[in-house]
Chain A
Amino acid sequence: MNWYAIRAIYGFEMARTRRTLMQSIASPVISTSLYFVVFGSAIGSRMVEIDGISYGAFIIPGLIMLSLLNESISNASFGIYFPRFSGTIYEVLSAPVSPLEIVMGYVGAAASKSVILGLLILATARLFVDYHIAHPVWMLAFLVTTAVTFSLFGFIIGIWADGFEKLQIVPMMLVTPLTFLGGSFYSINMLPPLWQTITLFNPVVYLISAFRWSFYGVADVAVGVSIAAILGFLLLCLGGIFWIFRTGYRLKQ
Chain B
Amino acid sequence: MTGIIQVDGLNKLYRGGFQALRDVNLSIRKGEIFALLGPNGAGKTTLISIICGIVTPSSGTVLADGHDIVSDYRAARSRIGLVPQELTTDAFESVWNTVSFSRGLFGKPRDDAHIEKVLRDLSLWDKRNNRLLELSGGMKRRVMIAKALSHEPQILFLDEPTAGVDVELRRDMWEMVSSLREAGVTIILTTHYIEEAEAMADRIGVIRKGELILVEDKTTLMDKLGQKELRLQLTEPLERIPDALGRAGLSLSDDGYRLTYSYDAHSEQGSVAAVLRQLNELGIEFSDLQSRQSSLEDIFVSLVHEEVA
User: Using a CB–CB distance below 8 Å, which chain A residues touch chain B?
Assistant: 2, 4-5, 7-9, 11-12, 15-16, 19, 86-88, 90-98, 248, 252-253
Establish whether residues B101 and A8, one from each chain, have CB atoms under 8 Å apart when the complex forms: yes
Which residues of B from 12 to 34 have beta carbons under 8 Å from A? 14-15
- Shortest distance in angstroms between B190's beta carbon and chain A's nearest beta carbon? 16
Please tell me if B35 contacts chain A, counting CB pairs below 8 Å.
no
Establish whether residues B15 and A253, one from each chain, have CB atoms under 8 Å apart when the complex forms: yes
Q: List 15 A-B contacts (CB under 8 A).
A: A4-B109, A8-B103, A8-B105, A12-B93, A15-B93, A86-B89, A87-B86, A91-B105, A92-B105, A94-B54, A94-B77, A94-B80, A95-B77, A96-B73, A253-B55
- Our pick among B82, B88, B90, B93 for the contact of A94 (Cβ within 8 Å) is B82
Query: How long is the Cα–Cα vector from A218 to B53 in the complex, in angstroms?
Result: 52
- Our pick among A11, A86, A90, A96 for the contact of B82 (Cβ within 8 Å) is A90
Establish whether residues A4 and B147, one from each chain, have CB atoms under 8 Å apart when the complex forms: no
Please tell me if B78 contacts chain A, counting CB pairs below 8 Å.
yes
Q: Which residues of B contact A95 (CB under 8 A)?
A: 77, 105-107
* Additional A-B contacts beyond A4-B106, A96-B106, A96-B107 (19; CB < 8 A): A4-B104, A4-B107, A12-B93, A86-B90, A87-B86, A87-B88, A88-B88, A90-B88, A91-B82, A94-B52, A95-B106, A96-B75, A96-B77, A96-B78, A97-B107, A248-B56, A252-B56, A253-B14, A253-B56
Q: Which residues of A contact B100 (CB under 8 A)?
A: 8
Which residues of B from 86 to 138 have beta carbons under 8 Å from A? 86, 88-93, 97, 100-109
Contacts A8-B105, A96-B73, A252-B55 hold; do A90 and B78 have CB atoms under 8 A apart? no
Establish whether residues A8 and B53, one from each chain, have CB atoms under 8 Å apart when the complex forms: no
Q: Which residues of A contact B247 (CB under 8 A)?
A: none
- Shortest distance in angstroms between A141's beta carbon and chain B's nearest beta carbon? 30
Q: Which residues of B contact A9 (CB under 8 A)?
A: 105
Please tell me if B74 contacts chain A, counting CB pairs below 8 Å.
yes
Q: Which residues of A contact B103 (CB under 8 A)?
A: 4, 8
Establish whether residues A2 and B74, one from each chain, have CB atoms under 8 Å apart when the complex forms: yes
Please tell me if B237 contacts chain A, counting CB pairs below 8 Å.
no
Q: Which residues of B contact A96 (CB under 8 A)?
A: 73-78, 106-107
We find that the number of chain B residues with CB closer than 8 angstroms to chain A is 36
- Shortest distance in angstroms between B17's beta carbon and chain A's nearest beta carbon? 13
Q: Is the interface of A mostly helix, strand, loop or mixed?
A: helix
- Our pick among B54, B89, B104, B109 for the contact of A252 (Cβ within 8 Å) is B54
A-B interface pairs (CB < 8 A), number = 82
Establish whether residues B102 and A91, one from each chain, have CB atoms under 8 Å apart when the complex forms: yes
Q: Which residues of A contact B91 (CB under 8 A)?
A: 86
Please tell me if B84 contacts chain A, counting CB pairs below 8 Å.
yes
- Our pick among A90, A97, A98 for the contact of B84 (Cβ within 8 Å) is A90
Q: Which residues of B contact A5 (CB under 8 A)?
A: 104-107
- Chain A residue nearest in CB terms to B12: A253
Establish whether residues B147 and A7, one from each chain, have CB atoms under 8 Å apart when the complex forms: no
Query: How long is the Cα–Cα vector from A137 to B188 in the complex, in angstroms?
Result: 55
Q: Which residues of B contact A87 (CB under 8 A)?
A: 86, 88
Q: Which residues of B contact A253 (CB under 8 A)?
A: 14-15, 49, 54-56
Q: Which residues of B contact A88 (CB under 8 A)?
A: 88-90
Q: Which residues of B contact A93 (CB under 8 A)?
A: 52-54
- Our pick among A12, A15, A19, A94 for the contact of B53 (Cβ within 8 Å) is A94
Q: Which residues of B contact A86 (CB under 8 A)?
A: 88-91
Query: How long is the Cα–Cα vector from A96 to B77 in the complex, in angstroms?
Result: 5
Q: Which residues of B contact A248 (CB under 8 A)?
A: 56
Q: Which residues of A contact B101 (CB under 8 A)?
A: 8, 11-12
Contacts A94-B80, A96-B74, A253-B14 hold; do A2 and B107 have CB atoms under 8 A apart? yes
Contacts A94-B52, A94-B54, A95-B77 hold; do A4 and B92 have CB atoms under 8 A apart? no
Contacts A86-B90, A91-B147, A95-B77 hold; do A4 and B54 have CB atoms under 8 A apart? no
Q: Which residues of B contact A12 (CB under 8 A)?
A: 93, 97, 101
Q: Which residues of A contact B90 (CB under 8 A)?
A: 86, 88
- Shortest distance in angstroms between B146's beta carbon and chain A's nearest beta carbon? 12
- Chain B residue nearest in CB terms to A19: B92
Query: How long is the Cα–Cα vector from A8 to B99 in the complex, in angstroms?
Result: 11
Query: How long is the Cα–Cα vector from A94 to B54 in the complex, in angstroms?
Result: 6
Q: Which residues of A contact B55 (CB under 8 A)?
A: 252-253
Query: How long is the Cα–Cα vector from A160 to B19 in the complex, in angstroms?
Result: 26
Which residues of B from 38 to 91 have beta carbons under 8 Å from A? 49, 52-56, 73-78, 80, 82, 84, 86, 88-91
Q: Which residues of A contact B75 (CB under 8 A)?
A: 96
Query: How long is the Cα–Cα vector from A145 to B97 in the complex, in angstroms?
Result: 31
Query: How long is the Cα–Cα vector from A252 to B15 in the complex, in angstroms?
Result: 11
